[in-house]
Amino acid sequence: MDGLVAVGVPLALAIRLVSVVATLMLVRHARACRWVALGASIAASVVTAAVAVHVIGSTSSIDGTLFRHAASETVLGYSVTPLSAWFLTTLSLIAVPVALYSTGYFAHAIAPPRMAAVGAALNAMVGGLEVVFVADGVIAFLCGWEVMTLATAALVATEHESRASRRAAYLFLVMSHVGTGCLLAGFLILGSVAGSLSFAVILSGHVVSGSMRSGVFALFFIGFGVKAGLIPFHVWLPEAHPAAPSSVSAFMSAVLITAGIYGLFKVCAFGLGPPDVNWALAFMSLGTLSAILGVLYALTQTDIKRLLAYSTIENSGIMALGLGAAMMALAHGRHTLATVAVAASLMHVLNHAIFKSLLFLGAGSVVMATGTRHIEHFGGLMRRMPWTGLWFLIGALAISGLPLLNGFPSEWLTFQALLQGFTSTPGLVRLNFPLTAALLALTSALAAACFVRAFGISFLALPRSPAASEAHESPAVMLVPLGFLATLCVVLGLFPGFVLRALGGVTASLPGLQPPAAMMWGGLGMSSALTSFDHVAPVMFGLAFVGGLIGSAALTGRRAVAVRQAPTWGCGGELTPRSEYTATAFSKPVLMIFGAVYRPTRQVDAVAEVSPYFVHEIRYRAEIEPTFERYLYRPLLRGVVRMAGGMKVLQAGSLHAYLAYVLVLAVILLMWLGGTT
Amino acid sequence: MTSAMQDGLLAAGAALLQAGGLLALAPLLKTVIKKMKARLQNRQGPPLLQGYYDLAKLLRKEPVRSDVASWVYVAGPRAYFAAAVAATTLVPVVFAAAPLESAGGILLLVGALAFGRFALATAALDTGSPFGGMGASRDMTIAALAEPALMLGLFASALAAGSMNLGVLVRTLVQEGVTRHPADILAFAGIFMIVIAETGRIPVDNPATHLELTMIHEAMVLEYAGPDLALVEWASAVKELLYFTLLVDLFLPVGIATSTAPAALLVGIVAWVGKVFVLAIAVTIVESTNAKLRLFRVPELVSISLGLAFLALAIRFL
Amino acid sequence: MTANVLILSAAGMLVSAYLMVGQKALFTTIRLYGLQSLLLAIVATTMAISESRHELLVTAALTVVLKTILIPWFLMRTVDRIGIQREVEPFLNVPVSLLICLGLTVVGYRVSSGFEEGTQQVTHHLIGVALSLLLIGMFLMVTRKKAITQILALLTVENAVFLVAVGVTTGMPLVVEFGIAFDVILAVLVLGILVQRIVGRFESMDVSRLSNLKG
């Protein structure tokens, strides 16, 4: 076992590399491609999971080298720290069900000529992500980062005949590279000051100081924020995640986001020395903004995958929020509180990965069965796809942060961190905490509304389109991963104490944090750092709930008379699918109440042929203003284009002009540098 | 029998007792409020036991279910009921400890009620009738707006007492005595407004109407009949009693029993019944002197509540 | 003795560059380049004999074969095929060009004195000549319109780099020299073909006409 663990990471990466090559060589045999690529993915994920679990259990890092080039003395090493191991566990936990699901899904959804490319890109993406989590130097990190980005872009552009997919891939590439550019700049600044490119040196916290530290922080915040999908860097997320194949979207939303969160943890929060109060405020405010705006936009989407993508932005905001609370606590020297907040954020990383991938895979099944992503064309699927419906319902309950499922514990911990932050920080800045807590409460309640809408309109009542009325249940290979993830949701929701115990080792490995001895409570529950402040044991509530169910059964089950089935009252006419409530109508109250955020525009046309009193058709068009695209990115783009136009003068088109530039530059450089030795 | 098992059995027994008691008394509270409202309007009003008669009638009836619906429709009322019943075990009623207070505190309580609401709203969409969708949409929206105000108000009181666990909170308050801070009045007003919203009373919602333009909660449960409807009605009544008890615990836990002596328990019961009755009178007056607000005026009401809660927090701690 | 040979050869290279600047006939320019390369081979041979670095003999041989014989032959054949024998008016007339080249030589020598090796007399001249040659080559590229002359200017720059490598440093590994040699051949071949295509398209070797392609 120890031997396997010592070589685990290179072994997993080797498996992936071999499978990429093999998949590309098997380009004519789609079925073989599928099995090779996905089988290798599962195998590599299992190996990585073994390594990660071992590290978390033993709370000691595993180091090694990935690549060594003797001549230039380049060494790309890896170091599986407990923090990396946490993210690797999340990755592997999601990668296995996603791969299993894909064996069924890709057979239906991907055209055979593309299977090789998709399989290879999937393994490249996951492999790149693994390298990102374990890299211990700048070069390895950036190599993994780039491979991950490019593979993801390839996957987003799978259906490249569609203009929307092409645009999504392009937007993703541009924004990712803006982020990568900032990362590169930050790392190079740190590296040039410290004189080394190894993380152990440049992330020790003592490299830069003063305003340079804040500048570097800002660079890394933008770089990792783009990847994590925090507002205002989120514009690529709602385009890219829906465009990719559904199982890939699941992986992207659940795990690829965490690459950004990992960076925020490793560099911004714990790699640049003791955090500044302003940094913590930046994290908390942008996190809260992402959470609120994410869920508000999710509420109005009619494309189910876009809805889930905006919900990812919301949850990403919650993770950033927890981290911000931790940084605020660290800035005031409250180490135990910081530990609670970090644990909350990390727990949410795991929980979000599980229920988001569950929801995306469920959505993928529905999209595959009906052939469309539009919610208003679903309906009545609960009867035709009972298992998918059940698992999706569990996912919807989990993401709404309701007790008994795994969304509740991480939200509970975040609340604890915020409330105790209020009592333990001095000054006016402490008002942030209850305000953030209130906004967090608003977010989770709106998320509940959003997923009542998503689940209810998609699965319940009558089918709203012919496609929905002919939908079939997915094959078993696609249902088993859903069931596994749903079971995990329930188990982790009822027994969050185990997750917390695993997190104890992880938080102890981060600088400035203490292992929270008081966070475990009786093995079944969780408590915050001050045991008397609050504690929760969801399993006991679960028992009470079951008691309530038994009571309700006792009250209503004694009847020997059979249930009478009757048609729903259709107000005197026949009940058709058209009389059902639509998703747009469901979210209309929210749209109107939060109109200042949405700025909706509406256009109603009554089309009449013979006379205006005999209307033949009414056309209704409602649109939400894309605030960030219109007010932030478009002016930015226009400025860049204008600047480029101004610089166009230099591109005279004359070869001689270009050569003259080179000559002038050479003369200047020689005179400047040549005079000094 | 180990002491852990003994504690467990004791807790289970107390939980059953408390849940049963609240279940038993909840319909009475609803009828009392109805009767008082009627008296204010110069009517007789229903007999005090009408709530029980209605529930018994409904439980006896034949269950009628929509032929379009799936199992979600059946599960909705049961989950709603179970969530409300489970929530009753988290709140101290006559004794200064909740039977399952180790299960959780304020956050779990709010979460449990949210669970029930989610279940009911989802089930409402299952019949294909537009009323169900409309009710679900409106109810979830108002609940979403009410949640931050409720949380802030509860936080203001909890942070003052130093704990979010209701049992510990009540015990701390009882120890400190009755002297309270002016912030408490603000917090009480804020939470009281939210309780009106959550229990579906005028001015937020009218519990007696079935008109399309004015229904919120009633629209969600419009399609239920017989035993299913009985569960929903009963659970709503329990929720209301629970909210009143919460208000009593947070702001005036005077007279709550601190020991298991029969005399103390008796005092506790009487004190609790009396305080809940006073709150019922307050609710009656509010319902009788206000008109129901338009749906899109409700956010204004909620924002006033939010402001009050925030002020309570601010003036206590700054 | 060795020093004199070296300095004379380097000076000769510089003179040939100046003559290239003042030339209008294409054939003569190509021959001047051949002469320049021959002088470079002489420098290499002298270094090989005086410092007994025998691999430099290989370098010298390579230079003679490739740059004195093969490349000028190829370029003259290209010019023959195209049939254009004269250079058109450059951007700057000859006297002004020569003045600028003088200025560039001054820059080159000044920079050379900033180097540590530039304190010795021989290497001072060698570096100075090489840098001047480099700058004059680039200047030629900027001011000439015919593609063939630009190719020759590029080759002059390459000669300058070679001069520094051979005369001042400990030389380049043989592998690198071979690599550079083949690069040069390839570059000339490609450029030759390109010139024929340009002429075929525009019926002129005038590179400034490429700006017609600008969008």
Asked whether the beta carbons of B47 and B28 are under 8 A apart, the reply is no
> Is the predicted pLDDT of residue A486 greater than 80, yes or no?
yes
Which secondary-structure segment (H or E) carries A141? helix A138-156
Compute, in degrees rounded to 10, the torsion defined by CA atoms A647, A649, A654, A655.
-20
Scanning B41-105, the segments in alpha helix (DSSP H) are: 50-60, 71-88
Question: Tokens at residue B35, please?
Answer: 């009767």
Instruction: Please report, for chain B, how many H helices and E strands are present, in that order.
Output: 11, 1
Contacts of A454 in chain B (CB under 8 A): none
pLDDT of residue A422: 83
> Is the predicted pLDDT of residue C8 greater than 60, yes or no?
yes
By three-state DSSP, how is residue A240 classified? helix
Asked whether the beta carbons of A41 and A251 are under 8 A apart, the reply is no
Which of B84, B112, B155 has its CB closest to that of A437? B155
Whether A586 and B136 lie within 8 Å, measured CB to CB: yes
Give the confidence band of A340 by pLDDT, cuts at 50, 70, 90: confident
How far from each other are the two terminal CA atoms of chain C, in whole angstroms? 59
* Shortest distance, CA A148 to any CA of chain B (angstroms): 38
Query: CA–CA separation, C26 vs C88, rounded Å?
Result: 10
The string of DSSP codes covering A524-577 is: TEEE-SSTTT-EE-HHHHHHHHHHHHHHHHHHHTT--SPPEEEPPP-TTS---G
Chain A touches chain B, with at least 3 Cβ pairs below 8 Å, answer yes
| A437 touching B (Cβ < 8 Å) | yes
By three-state DSSP, how is residue A300 classified? coil
Mutation target to probe the B interface, by most B beta carbons within 10 A, among A390, A443, A555, A590 is A555
Portion of chain B with pLDDT greater than 70, in percent: 98
> Do A533 and A617 lie in a common domain?
no
Which secondary-structure segment (H or E) carries A620? strand A615-623
pLDDT of residue A199: 87
Question: Tokens at residue B230, please?
Answer: 């009985």
> Is the predicted pLDDT of residue C47 greater than 60, yes or no?
yes
> Do A475 and A541 lie in a common domain?
yes
Question: Tokens at residue B218, please?
Answer: 């009633």
Residues sharing a CB contact under 8 Å with residue A556, sequence separation 6 or more, in sequence order: B59, B63, B78, B227, B228, B230, B231
Question: Tokens at residue B82, please?
Answer: 């179970």
Q: A520-542: per-residue pLDDT in tens?
A: 554 556 666 555 677 888 888 99
Tell the burial category of A621 from Cβ atoms under 10 Å away from its Cβ (0-12, 13-18, 19+): exposed
By three-state DSSP, how is residue A28 classified? coil
By three-state DSSP, how is residue A75 classified? strand
Q: B281-292: per-residue pLDDT in tens?
A: 999 999 998 888
Contacts of B168 in chain A (CB under 8 A): 532
Task: Tally the residues of chain C.
Answer: 215
Which of A431, A579, A588 has its CB closest to that of B314? A431
User: Which structural domain, as residue segments, surrounds residue A413?
Assistant: 297-551
Lowest-confidence pick of A195-199, C100-104, C171-175: C171-175
Give the confidence band of A509 by pLDDT, cuts at 50, 70, 90: confident
> Do A639 and A651 lie in a common domain?
yes
Name the residue with higher pLDDT: A476 or C81. Answer: A476
> Do A546 and A437 lie in a common domain?
yes
Whether A553 and B78 lie within 8 Å, measured CB to CB: yes
Of A282, A266, A260, A286, whose CA–CA distance to A328 is shortest?
A282
Tell me whether residue A115 is in a domain: no
Chain B touches chain C, with at least 3 Cβ pairs below 8 Å, answer no
Which of A403, A431, A537 has its CB closest to that of B111? A403
Query: CA–CA separation, B97 vs B91, rounded Å?
Result: 8
Which of A434, A452, A548 has its CB closest to that of B152? A434
> Is the predicted pLDDT of residue A671 greater than 60, yes or no?
yes
> Do A349 and A476 lie in a common domain?
yes
By three-state DSSP, how is residue C169 classified? coil
pLDDT of residue A532: 64
Tell me whether residue A51 is in a domain: no
* Shortest distance, CA C126 to any CA of chain A (angstroms): 15
Query: CA–CA separation, A30 vs A119, rounded Å?
Result: 10
Portion of chain C with pLDDT greater than 90, in percent: 10
| A552 touching B (Cβ < 8 Å) | yes
| A572 touching B (Cβ < 8 Å) | no
DSSP summary character for residue A229: T
> Do A497 and A454 lie in a common domain?
yes
> Do A501 and A596 lie in a common domain?
no
Query: CA–CA separation, A220 vs B156, rounded Å?
Result: 37
pLDDT (average), residues B14-21: 91
Tell the burial category of A255 from Cβ atoms under 10 Å away from its Cβ (0-12, 13-18, 19+): buried
Mutation target to probe the C interface, by most C beta carbons within 10 A, among A656, A658, A667 is A656
Give the confidence band of A674 by pLDDT, cuts at 50, 70, 90: low
| B91 touching A (Cβ < 8 Å) | no
pLDDT of residue C57: 84
Query: CA–CA separation, A361 vs A388, rounded Å?
Result: 9
CA distances in angstroms from B75 to A546, B55, B81, listed in the order given = 13, 19, 10
Mutation target to probe the C interface, by most C beta carbons within 10 A, among A648, A649, A654, A663 is A663
Query: CA–CA separation, C67 vs C47, rounded Å?
Result: 19
Domain range annotation of chain B:
3-317
Residues sharing a CB contact under 8 Å with residue A277, sequence separation 6 or more, in sequence order: A328, A331, A332, A429
Portion of chain A with pLDDT greater than 70, in percent: 95
Task: Tally the residues of chain B.
Answer: 318
Domain range annotation of chain C:
2-209
Query: CA–CA separation, A249 vs A240, rounded Å?
Result: 8
| Count of the separate structural domains present in chain A | 3
Q: Which of A5-9, A482-486, B125-129, B132-136 has the highest mean pLDDT?
A: A482-486
Query: CA–CA separation, B23 vs B278, rounded Å?
Result: 20
Which secondary-structure segment (H or E) carries A183? helix A163-194
CA contacts within 13 A on the Cβ side of A490: 11
Question: Tokens at residue B243, please?
Answer: 């909210």
Asked whether the beta carbons of A408 and A538 are under 8 A apart, the reply is yes
Which residues of chain C approach chain A closer than 8 Å at the C-beta?
A: 91, 104, 107-108, 110-112, 114-116, 131, 134-135, 138-139, 141-143, 145, 207-208, 210-211, 213-214
Beta bridge pairs of residue A607: A617
Give the chains touching C; criterion: ≥3 Cβ pairs < 8 Å: A
> Do A614 and A637 lie in a common domain?
no
Of B110, B51, B96, B92, whose CA–CA distance to B239 is shortest?
B110
Query: CA–CA separation, A322 vs A338, rounded Å?
Result: 9
Asked whether the beta carbons of A456 and B122 are under 8 A apart, the reply is yes
pLDDT of residue C210: 67
Q: What is the mean pLDDT of chain A?
A: 88
Helix/strand/coil (H/E/C) assignment for every residue in A273-292: CCCCHHHHHHHHHHHHHHHH
CB atoms near residue A604 (< 10 Å): 9
* Shortest distance, CA A69 to any CA of chain B (angstroms): 56
Whether A534 and B107 lie within 8 Å, measured CB to CB: yes
> Is the predicted pLDDT of residue A515 greater than 80, yes or no?
no
| A654 touching C (Cβ < 8 Å) | yes
By three-state DSSP, how is residue B96 classified? coil
Q: What is the mean pLDDT of chain B?
A: 89
pLDDT (average), residues C117-136: 82
Q: B23-56: per-residue pLDDT in tens?
A: 999 999 999 999 999 999 999 999 999 999 999 9
Of A233, A252, A235, whose CA–CA distance to A244 is shortest?
A252
Contacts of B133 in chain A (CB under 8 A): 456, 580-582, 585-586
Contacts of A655 in chain C (CB under 8 A): 207-208, 210-211
Helix orientation angle between B227-251 and A538-556, rounded to the nearest 10 degrees: 140
Query: CA–CA separation, A186 vs A168, rounded Å?
Result: 27
Name the residue with higher pLDDT: B113 or C113. Answer: B113
> Do A598 and A631 lie in a common domain?
no
Which of A654, A667, A676 has its CB closest to that of C107? A667
Query: CA–CA separation, A321 vs A529, rounded Å?
Result: 19
Please identify among residues 169-188 of chain B the ones whose CB lies closer than 8 Å to any CB of chain A.
none
Asked whether the beta carbons of A539 and A524 are under 8 A apart, the reply is yes
CB atoms near residue B204 (< 10 Å): 24
Is the previous residue joined to B203 through a cis bond, with omega within 30 degrees of 0?
A: yes
Tell me whether residue A201 is in a domain: no
> Do A596 and A641 lie in a common domain?
no
> Is the predicted pLDDT of residue A519 greater than 60, yes or no?
no
Give the chains touching B; criterion: ≥3 Cβ pairs < 8 Å: A
Whether B122 and A456 lie within 8 Å, measured CB to CB: yes
Residues sharing a CB contact under 8 Å with residue A123, sequence separation 6 or more, in sequence order: A16, A19, A20, A23, A37, A40, A41, A44
> Rounded to the nearest 5°, which phi and psi values hold at A607?
-95, 120
> Is the predicted pLDDT of residue A576 greater than 70, yes or no?
yes
DSSP summary character for residue C51: T
Give the confidence band of C100 by pLDDT, cuts at 50, 70, 90: confident
pLDDT of residue A522: 46
**Amino acid code (one letter) for C38:** L
Tell me whether residue A368 is in a domain: yes
Place of tokens 């599962």: A42
Q: A367-412: per-residue pLDDT in tens?
A: 999 999 999 999 889 999 999 999 999 999 999 999 999 999 999 9
DSSP summary character for residue B94: S
Of C68, C42, C33, whose CA–CA distance to C153 is shortest?
C33
- Give the chain B residue nearest A446 (alpha carbons): B144
Of B256, B279, B246, whose CA–CA distance to B94 is shortest?
B256
> Do A379 and A453 lie in a common domain?
yes
**Cα B11 from chain centroid (whole Å):** 22
pLDDT of residue B129: 87
Query: CA–CA separation, B199 vs B238, rounded Å?
Result: 10
| B16 touching A (Cβ < 8 Å) | yes
| B4 touching A (Cβ < 8 Å) | no
Q: A119-165: per-residue pLDDT in tens?
A: 999 999 999 999 999 998 899 999 999 999 999 999 999 988 889 89
> Rounded to the nearest 5°, which phi and psi values hold at B41?
-95, 20
Scanning chain C, the segments in alpha helix (DSSP H) are: 2-22, 26-50, 55-63, 71-82, 94-113, 121-143, 147-167, 174-202
> Do A340 and A463 lie in a common domain?
yes
